[in-house]
Homo-oligomer: A and B are copies of this chain.
Amino acid sequence: MPKLGMQPIRRAALVKATIAEIGEAGSLDVTVSKIAKRAGVSSALAHHYFGGKQDLLVAAMRHILSVYGAAVRRALAGAKTPRARIDGIVAASFAPGQFEPAVIAAWLNFYVQAQSAPGARRLLAVYQARLRSNLVHALRPLAGDRAPEIAETLAAMIDGLYIRHALGAAPDGQGATARVAACLDGLLGEGA
């Protein structure tokens, strides 16, 4: 079987298996052996393609974030009006895919990691900055100078609603979108 060009295939499989394992465990307390077994290889191979357990976990987190980033970009591409841009960002953040157990587990553990792991903190900062930038850009025509602070408020609402829906009874984002919209209307309604 050992054909050429296995590297990217194995890496992808291992990352996928890592995410699945994290989702099943709910935490980063996963073993390399279990991951490797799920990917259909030996644990030694996981160490071969990734330096060690840490690198595997980082790669998994990075993959999750890149998927989310791509969804946001896709949502923004098809939006013409400022309001549609905001709605797109919100919709992407509350898309069904974001509420898969593995994705929820990844995000929550990412927050935990961001406390102490400089790499994770930096990555989180990048994604938060990008989100804020997108929101400010969309809000500028609607709110003028108040765009930055409203963006911060919306970003916090997105995070807060996500966690509440992720850990609450409703396993999807139903209602969250409407709640953000109502809040935005309220904030835009009152003049400077």
Contact = CB atoms under 8 A, between A and B. Distances in A.
Contact of A160 (B105, B155, B186): B155
Interface centre among A29, A104, A124, A160 (most CB of B within 10 A): A160
Contacts of A155: 160, 164
Interface in A135-152: 149, 152
A128 B164 contact: yes
Given A29-B29, A155-B160, A160-B158, A115 B167 contact: yes
Contact of A186 (B26, B115, B164, B183): B183
B160 A161 contact: yes
Nearest to A105: B115
A27 B149 CA distance: 32
A179 interface: yes
A164 B156 CA distance: 7
A167 B111 contact: yes
Count copies of this chain in the complex: 2
A156 B183 CA distance: 11
A180 to B, nearest CB: 9
11 contacts: A111-B163, A111-B167, A114-B167, A115-B167, A152-B179, A155-B164, A156-B179, A157-B157, A160-B160, A185-B186, A186-B186
Determine chain A's interface SS by DSSP, over half rule.
helix
Interface string A148-192: 010011011111110110011000000000010011011111100
A34 to B, nearest CB: 16
A25 B187 CA distance: 39
A156 B161 contact: yes
A108 interface: yes
A42 interface: no
Contacts of A149: 179, 182
